[in-house]
Amino acid sequence: MNKVVWSHSALKDYESCARKYEKVRVLKLHKFEETEATRYGTQLHLAAEEYIRDDKPLPEQFSFIQTTLDALNKRSGRKLCEHQMALTIDLQPCAWVGPDVWVRGIADLLIVDDDILTAWVVDYKTGNNKYPDLEQLRLMALMVFAHFPHIRKVNAALLFVVKNDMVKFQMAREDADKAWWNYRERIARIEQAHDTGVWNPKPSPLCPWCPVHSCEHHPKH
């Protein structure tokens, strides 16, 4: 079993504050609390998934994304919705749950065009487009290369559905090795924290929203 099983959001959490990561993700002291915004995001993802996969009409509240989804649906290639991809530490595809899993990622929409050896990865975002996080797309592209060995190029996009904006990212298979090394180095830091038991706090303007009220940097401490 790998010491660290990670995802884009887990790595982001660790790098934003190791102490919070330990309390929330390692010790599991704080449950995920659903908010109005997260509930809306979950509902939209489900509506988009069912629209593309099952041809199920969009609920009225999400009809504003129909034109965008229709444009994606028109692309040639296999459409895979909410597609789960997991890899071993040797970058071999593996089961989503199991002793060998090292990294996991879910593509909201993956379109695999076997004819032109190209894939499209789309991630729906219901939040603000002010600070687009392209790293999520980088990891998705890497996962696609590992799961679909014939694919040479991945075009990816964050689709800010409410803001009607799209932020694009592209990766060629030749760039994958270097990108994986970057991740290996960063995951090694999480492994080191497990080994040493040192989980340093990283105070930020986000502390008031952190569930770790016991931390001296939390305003409710």
Residue 202 in the binding site for ligand SF4 (CB under 6 A): yes
- Spatial distance between the Cα atoms of 123 and 135, rounded to a whole number of angstroms: 12
To ligand SF4, the closest distance from the beta carbon of 29 in angstroms equals 11
> Is residue 203 at the binding interface for ligand SF4, with CB under 6 A as the rule?
yes
CB nearer to ligand SF4: give 20 or 45.
Answer: 20
Q: In the bound complex, what is the minimum distance in angstroms from residue 95's beta carbon to ligand SF4? A: 33
Look-up: residue for tokens 């040797």? Answer: 90
| Orientation of helix 8-16 relative to helix 135-147, angle to 10° | 140
193 near ligand SF4, rule: CB under 6 A: no
Check binding of 12 to ligand SF4 (CB under 6 A): no
Q: Indicate the SS3 state at residue 170.
A: strand
One of 46, 89, 166, 215 touching ligand SF4 (CB under 6 A): 215
CB of 15 to ligand SF4, least distance (A): 12
Spatial distance between the Cα atoms of 113 and 199, rounded to a whole number of angstroms: 43
Rounded to an integer, what is the distance from CA 165 to the centroid of its chain? 18
User: In angstroms, what is the C-alpha Rg of the chain?
Assistant: 19
CA distance 27 to 7: 17
Cβ atoms of 62 and 47 closer than 8 Å: yes
Taking CB under 6 A as the rule, does residue 20 contact ligand SF4? yes
25 forms part of the interface with ligand SF4 (CB under 6 A):
no
What gap in Å lies between CA 138 and CA 90, rounded to an integer?
18
17 binds ligand SF4 (CB under 6 A): yes
For position 207 contacting ligand SF4 by CB under 6 A, the verdict is: yes
Take residue 211 and report the two structure tokens written for it: 């569930």
**Binding segment for ligand SF4 among 54-62, 147-155, 187-195, 199-207 (CB under 6 A)?**
199-207
Q: Does 217 bind ligand SF4 (CB under 6 A)?
A: yes
Q: How far apart are CA 193 and CA 202, in angstroms?
A: 14
Q: Does position 103 bind ligand SF4 by CB under 6 A?
A: no
Binding site for ligand SF4 (CB under 6 A): 17, 19-20, 201-203, 207, 210, 212, 215, 217-218
